[in-house]
Structure 1
Amino acid sequence: MEQRLAAVLAADMAGYSRLMEADEAGTIARLRTHRIELIDPAIAKNKGRIIKTTGDGMLVEFQSVTDAVKCAVEIQQRMKRRNSDVPQERRIEFRIGINLGDIIFEEDDIFGDGVNIAARIEQLADVGGICITAAVATQIADRLEITLEDLGEKLLKNISRPVHLFRVGLDGATTLPLPPEEDVKRSVSKPSIVVLPFNNMSGDPDQEFFSDGLTEDIITELSRRHELFVISRNSSFVYKNRSVNVREVADKLGAQYLVEGSVRKIGDRVRVTVQLIDAVNDAHIWADKYDRRLDDIFAIQDEVTAAIAATLPGRVEAAQRDQLARTKPANMAAYECALAAKVLHHRGSAADNEQAQALIDRALALDPGYAHAHAWRACILGQAWVHGWCENKEATWAEIVAELDRALALDDNDADVHRILAAVNVNNNALTAARYHQERALSLNPNYDLVVVQQGELLTWLGRPEEGIEWIRKAMRLNPHHPERFWSHLGKAHFAARQYGEAVEAFMHLSVMDHVQHAFVAACYGWLGDEIAARAHLEKVRALAPDVDVDSFLATLHYAQESDFQHLREGLAKAAKCRSDLSTGEVAAQ
């Protein structure tokens, strides 16, 4: 046995039994996600050691009282942000108690009065709050900028003497690396959008609930996109059944874009029309209509909502890009710099990546607290890291990790942050971590086409390409204006599923193919035994990437199963054999 002074943190999940009864599998999954993404990293960062865990709590030892309190504050502050858009009855919240005292250490467990007091005061903490003993308060009083509320002496169960307790005030706590004061003056000017109540054109009052429900669902789904500012339902429904002037509504609500629509029932069918209007220029940007059989009104509502929510942000972003083309970089706001950086990133060249880095750096200089921009800086640096467009890969990777940590600390509920975390982890072959972040992104925004297509891509890497194909096609249906690269993801999924004809067809939708895509097509034709086509695409690979050999090419891929690597290797070998069989001279040359 060893006895020494240590800080003990006891944490317990509030309402655990109630949550487990309501949704056992969902509660376990959400708790696991919080552990992996937030709690365990916070403990590790603050040099804590988890001694034991129970289904709904844990006991952690720290050698520094300051580290223990910093860890607790970080967990509670970030859990509050995570719960901001979660219904009250589904929130996972913790109580935390911290004590400083003599602890007995034996066989990876801890015992003693100091541990018992930590466990008891945790039960007295507020839900989402922190309770500490006077011994802890004395140690941190001059070290951390937090407020402490004196709770006086309390009698604790099975503790003979009264214990003096304090409540930690979280609202004013600055132990986290919070943005500087100037961040409060947000320089981000996100596109603002109002969804006006859809008109019921059916002449059937019973259809009113459908048009109102559709409008509300679209507002809810668009609000999941943190790069948009969506006017609330209460503001937009003021204009229900009223003839509106676009510019007047936009001026009154402060909206740049308006969404209008109508619902018409025709026999056993329903038609929904929708249009997006640039209120500043009074110009129609996009319009579409959706015709569906009236078999299940709620299924139609969900389907049309998903399609509109997936398409609209892309149309808004396209309109913003058109405006950026006429704007000087020096005059761009943080959002505009981030958007321009995204455009350059998607072009995929070293020169464009360098410009993208400069623009995203400017976005963060304008607004250091812009979580979306921190995530995209990680993504842009990740592109440079993957392609070797950086002088020091180790230092660049450290920057990527730091940017993602910062983005998560600022906004745990941005689907894009988790989507990019998943993508970066895939490129680092950390597929388990990628799955957690991908699931979180999908739960935050299930109608975001980039998240949906990435689910298909990840499933393909994990050896489940048939499921991957379904997700990729779903993303294409959600957003008919999807980026061209979706076809590349679909082609790779079909290849992994041994569906070579479908894979070739998908790749043929690309206007320009890089050496990776040509290699997959060559492997498809290798398996199909088409010598001429295999040779043509293999020649394209050699022309575009003369220094790449099969091993270095396979090393850039992220399959979880060795059989998928061998499948591609054999396809390329068959393509190379087709090429070498063409003439004696070529065989000799090889």
Structure 2
Amino acid sequence: MNAAVTRKLTTILAADAERFSAAMEADEDGTYAALKAAQKVFFKLIEQRGGRVANTAGDGLIADFPSVVEAVRCALDVQQELGEAENSLRFRIGVHLGDVICDGADLIGEGVNLAARLQAMADPGGILISRQVYDQVKNKFNIGFDYLGERRAKNLPEEIEVFRITYGAEATARMDSLRPKVDVPRPRSKVSQVWEDDFDSASASAQTAADLPARVMDKRLPWVAGGVGVAVIMNIGSGGSFWPAWPVLVFGMLYGLRHGTEMVGRKTFKSVPIQIWVLSIFLLCINLMSQSGPWSLIPIGAMFGISLLARGSRRDKTAGNQTPDLRQ
């Protein structure tokens, strides 16, 4: 009979080997030996940092720690030791602080899912952490943190803020060199299967943006924005006779709706979706080119207001759904 189901607040570390199935096909014996060697490293360092392995699945594992700091220290130690080993598998690691369900020795629930989602987005040899973890460790390590923006997880009403741990220029260059040069679909382990690729269909190109720091813009943005801006200015300056500005403006709007998230490097700005910013700029340019009164302010204000109200409503709903768990 299973032990009673309880809940606890803990730090979850999720890890998964990069392209393990492909490596097994190429060299089954060698890859299996590398996996066992890597697992020994994980088990040793998790124990040293006061954590425990909750469950393993194929090439992945889930561990939990009573200390956020020790969980991050463990992740750093693991990546350093595996990075120095020859013929070692490269692992992605995600760390999240959250409430979980304890079903015997197993951990399940939203907290585990979020850690697994962070792991799935990490670079090989890299570590991603959530805002909850970042707030606890940002002043306790002599390392860097890159803010990657907000990511939406399936079946959750709120986006989560994601941070990447950096080790300095040399280590960052090393991890970038490990990124696959060819976009080959990565087989999922049982650990990473707890999440599906769930970027919104309206911004499917955000999958490419997942590896972009939020403060870094795509190189296409200045060209698209500059081209639209020049066309609009020429139309206004010519008194409306420069008609090519209209198709250029429409092209810019459609391109921004499809690739805006990828070009800007985030899904929202000032809590408003990038698509609404694109539509607002489109309406403002039409207003200027038509040389009429400021009618565009009404639909722009309505879109911004509805977006902010919807975001606030989702937050209230999330807080209401979490209230029963806090009383347990």
| Structure with higher helix content | 1
| Higher gyration radius (CA) | 1
The two structures have a TM-score, normalised by structure 1, of 0.28
Q: TM-score with structure 2 length normalisation?
A: 0.49
Q: Which has the higher contact order (CA 8 A, sep 6+)?
A: 2
